[in-house]
Amino acid sequence: MLGANDGLVSNFSIVMGFAGGTTSAGNPEFILLAGIAGLLAGALSMGAGEYISMRSQRDQYEHQIDRKRIDLLNNPKVEKERLIHLYEEKGLSQLESETIATQIISNPKVALETLVKEELGISVEQLGAPWSASISSFVAFCAGAIIPIVPFFFGMEMIAIICSAFLSSVALLAVGGLLALISGKNPLWGSARMFLTGLFAATVTYSIGYSIGVYVN
């Protein structure tokens, strides 16, 4: 949802910036080209950034897990004492803690998962999939970024600009309301906030594009 919102706001701003910069609305193909470029650049950037972030985080976690695996292999008694101490801190008696720790240490796989979760706060099963996260970010960004440029595929000149603004505004209201609803907030306020934020960004880029267009021409 957040990726779609990023794509929507950024490409809406790009489209409005180019729309303001054209001396006439008779060249919708230039705006379409800018919109497609913005969509691809943003989606690829989001996807690559998400992959690098997830991959780096996963590498870091895997390194910590490998170190803990070596510690468990070389010093099982020390790791058992750590487990006993952890369970005592949770309120268990010494006898209960020793019993549980003994059972856990007897199974290397369970012992590793438990130590990693209790000491490092890492879940072995939830390290994340970099490629899945990357593709999801790419698709989400594209889903949002395609909305402002759809009317320009039909080459409707000024009507395309108006339709783009309308479709983007409706999408901003919908996304803002949905995000607020998910967060347990007032959906009307969420819609208004998202709409005003996107409108402000698009207005600024349109004004800048218009000023540059007037200056250049």
Query: For residue range 28-70, what is the model confidence (pLDDT) as tens digits?
Result: 788 888 889 999 999 999 889 888 988 888 888 888 888 888 8
**Residue 146 binned pLDDT confidence (cut-offs 50, 70, 90):** very high
Q: Taking a C-beta distance cutoff of 8 angstroms, is the pair 196, 47 a contact?
A: no
Residues of the chain above pLDDT 90, percent: 15
Whole-prediction pTM value?
0.74
Q: CA torsion sign, 108 to 113 to 119 to 120?
A: positive
pLDDT at residue number 217: 53
**Residue 23 binned pLDDT confidence (cut-offs 50, 70, 90):** low
